[in-house]
Structure 1
Amino acid sequence: MTATPTDSLSRALDSPGEPALRPLPPVVAELLRSLGAPPRLAAHLRAVHDVAVELVDWVRDRYPEPAVDRDGVLFGAATHDVGKTLHPEELARPGSAHEETGRDLLLSRGFAPALARFAATHARWDDPAVTIEDLLVSTADKVWKDKRVPDLEDRLVRALAGATGREPWEEYLALDDLFTRLGSDAGHRLAFQSAFPVYA
C-alpha cells in the first residue's frame, strides 16, 4: 500500500528519527497539519528545531545574561520556512519568496509579530537590527546540516561577547566546539529530511 500525503506528513512530524529528533512544539505541528505542509518541510523544521534546542540551551547555560527568549528561538526555528507551504518549489531549489510569505501566513493565523518575524529574518542575519534570538535561529538553520557561515558566526560571537564582556576569541572557541559537536550528527538529520517527499 502506498502512503498517502497525510501519512507522510504524520511520519515526518511523529517518527523518532535516528538519532531521535525532538518533536516540534504542538502548536506548530498542528499548524503544519492544518496547512497540509509538505512532508519534507516538516522533517526539515524538526531537524532545525532540534539543533536550536541544543544551541539555545547551551547559550543560556553559558550566558545567564543577557536573557535569551528560549521559547521565541524555538518557535522561530520550528517555523522559519513555513512559507514554503505556499512556495514548495523552494524546498527543491533556492528562493526567498517564502520569507515574507511565511511571516504573513503566521500573522494571518494569529501569531504575534515578535514570533512571526523569524520567518522573514532567518536569512537576513546581516541586518543591523537583528537580535541574538534572530542570530540563533539563523545559526540553527545552517548548523543542522554542518554548514559554517563565518560572517554569521562572527555576528553571533560579537553579540555574545558584547553582552558578557568576554573576549571575542573566547566566545569563538567555545562556539566552534559546540558547532563541531552539532555538525557531527548532520548526516543523520539530512537522511531524515531526504526520506520524505518534497511535494505532498
Structure 2
Amino acid sequence: MIRVLVVDDEALIRMGFQRILDTAEGIEVVAAVPGGQALRTAQETAPDVVLLDIRMPDVDGLTVLTELRGLPNPPVVAMLTTFDMDEYVATALRSGAAGFLLKDTDPEELPFLVRSLADGGTVLSSKVTRTVVDAYLDAGPQDRDTGGLERLTDRERDVLVRVAEGLSNAEIATRMHLSTGTVKDHVSAILTKLEVGGRVQAALLAQRAGLLKEEGGTPG
C-alpha cells in the first residue's frame, strides 16, 4: 500500500486529489492538509509520497519541501502547481523535488503517476516539462556542470540514461536484467557522484550532456 499525503492550501484541491487516489488500488491517502500542518502530519503518518503545493499563503512550499526532505526517512515529494511557467522550478529541483504535476492533471493519470513516484520514477507533467528543463539549464553554473558524469562507471551511465527516460527502478531493473535493489544502489551512487539532490536533476544533466542522443549507440 502506497501511503500518500496531500498538501495544498485549497480544501477543494485536497478533497479532489484524496477522492481520486482513495479509489485507486494499492494507494491510501493518509491525510490531506494545508501547508502549515504538513511537517507534523508527515512525522505522524510517515507517507511514502507527498504531493505538495508549491505556492501556499500560509507557508512557503519550498520551505516545506526542504523540511520534508530533511526527515530521517524522507518521503518522495512531487510539487503541485497551476503554473506551467513557475519561476521556483530550479530551486525545487535543487531541494530534491522528484517531479512536478499541474493541478489539472488528468484524474485517470494521477494514480499511475503516484505509483511511479513511489517506485523511484521521475514524474513531469507534459505541459511543464519544457519549463522545467529551461529553468534548470538557466540556473547557476554549478547546476549546469556535467563534469561529474566522468566519475560514473559505464553501468551507472546506462542506468542514468534510463532515469533520464523517466523509467522507475523496477522498469530499469527489467530493462537491464538487474535486481531492483541493485538499481537503487546504482541510482544512489549516481546522485552522490553528480552531487545532485534528486533524480530529476540527474536526468536533466544527462539530457544536457547528450546521453539520450547517444542511446542510438552505447552511452559511455
Same fold (TM over 0.5): no
* TM-score, normalised via structure 2 length: 0.28
Task: Tell me which protein shows more strand as a share of its residues.
Answer: 2
Higher RCO by CA contacts (8 Å cutoff, separation 6 or greater): 1
